[in-house]
Amino acid sequence: MRLALVVRTLGRDGGTERFVHGLAGYLLSAGHTVDVWCASVAQPIAGVTTRPLRLRGRGRTLKMLSLARAAAMVPAGEYDLVCGFIRGGAPGLYRAGGGCHAAWLAARGTHRLADLIELRLDRAVVASARITIVNSMMAGRDLTTHYGLSPDRIRLIYNGVDLKRFVPIPGATHPSGQRAVAFFGSGFSRKGLSVAIRAVARLTGVRLTVIGGDPRPGRFEALADRLGVADRVDFLGRQSAPESLLPLHDAMILPTRYDPFANCTLEALACGIPAITSGFNGAAEVLPEPWMAVPEPGDVDGFTAALERSLQTEGLGARCRAVAENLPAKGAFQKLEGCITELTR
């Protein structure tokens, strides 16, 4: 088949970008002709043709509208199917990797003009697609609840993980010699870093490693200082090789306010470390123990207790790895190819 994949950037930096990059390579190896329509190319793929989405304007709102207009110009008649991975255009198949924007706005409780425009674009692309792929049951429920999307137009495909890249390192320990917990995510307010810092502050002799970026990290550094744990919280910024860092930790914490399926959750499990997250992370659906998901993202007591329990539970790391082994990246690509076949019969 001749397929078009529409994404902002062909690369491996973000969750959606990594998924599309891997999917394009898989579809090419499966014998399909693949064109990737994108605004920029970070990591090209031999054999995959890239075609430009031409963007104009500055600022979040104008760039968002420009991207949506460019996506609408993809010539669907040249392809057996157009597969969309951005909020724009009218793809036959749309993967809602970012979940439901209305659900995020409800969780956040505040709205800006750009949010309302993104909400309109999100609703429109979901309405136009013949099939919408979601990466968690939570995301599917959100699309049905907020947009009225019929369940028969939704397909669930959990995210997969590179099991050769993210692996346990037997005997690995944190360089400090102390027990250590990782926080992995960018956009610290949304991901719940303040809750993570407060929870770790209540645990004696435990360090927190912050992997990821934020426009205003000083707020969170100041919080650690006020709580008297600045010497136990390490801000590493964005890291290109998190697979070398995660196995050095005893657990991961992600009190996210909304994530349809946070990839770092599955990456931590693949490294054999427990991931303690919130009930607003769709990845909580695959955790080996229900107590590893704290229902409310702001529940500091709940996260403290779950972290303590994870550090004391023997054999939990091996069970975490077993979960990840049932969700390989290739499996997700194969299931999405099945949805493509369903639409092109």
Determine the Cα–Cα distance for residues 34 and 208; give it in Å rounded to an integer. 42
pLDDT of residue 157: 98
CA nearest neighbour of 340 among 77, 9, 43, 34: 34
Cβ contact 234:260 at 8 Å: no
| 195-208 confidence digits (pLDDT tens) | 999 999 999 999 99
Determine the Cα–Cα distance for residues 177 and 163; give it in Å rounded to an integer. 27
Place of tokens 């049905």: 144
pLDDT of residue 12: 86
Determine the Cα–Cα distance for residues 84 and 98; give it in Å rounded to an integer. 12
**Domain check: are 189 and 156 in the same one?**
no
Mean pLDDT (whole number) for 57-78: 91
**Domain check: are 96 and 190 in the same one?**
no
**Domain check: are 235 and 262 in the same one?**
yes
**Domain check: are 150 and 10 in the same one?**
yes
CA nearest neighbour of 209 among 193, 185, 233, 187: 233
**Domain check: are 155 and 196 in the same one?**
no
Cβ contact 88:68 at 8 Å: yes
Cβ contact 336:23 at 8 Å: yes
Element (H, E) at 323: helix 316-325
**CATH of residue 263:** 3.40.50.2000
Determine the Cα–Cα distance for residues 87 and 182; give it in Å rounded to an integer. 31
**Domain check: are 98 and 215 in the same one?**
no
* Residue 122, domain extent: 2-160+329-344
| Confidence label for 14 from pLDDT (cuts 50, 70 and 90) | confident
User: Over 90: is that where the pLDDT of 163 sits?
Assistant: yes
pLDDT of residue 242: 93
Mean pLDDT (whole number) for 213-240: 95
Give the pair of three-digit tokens for residue 85.
């991975």
CA nearest neighbour of 263 among 2, 59, 22: 22
Which of the 8 DSSP states describes residue 259? B
| 271-282 confidence digits (pLDDT tens) | 999 999 999 999
In a domain, 271, yes or no: yes
Domain count for the chain, please give it.
2
b (16+ CB within 10 A) / e for 117-128: bbbebbbbbbee
Q: Give the N- to C-terminal CA distance of the chain in Å, as an integer.
A: 11
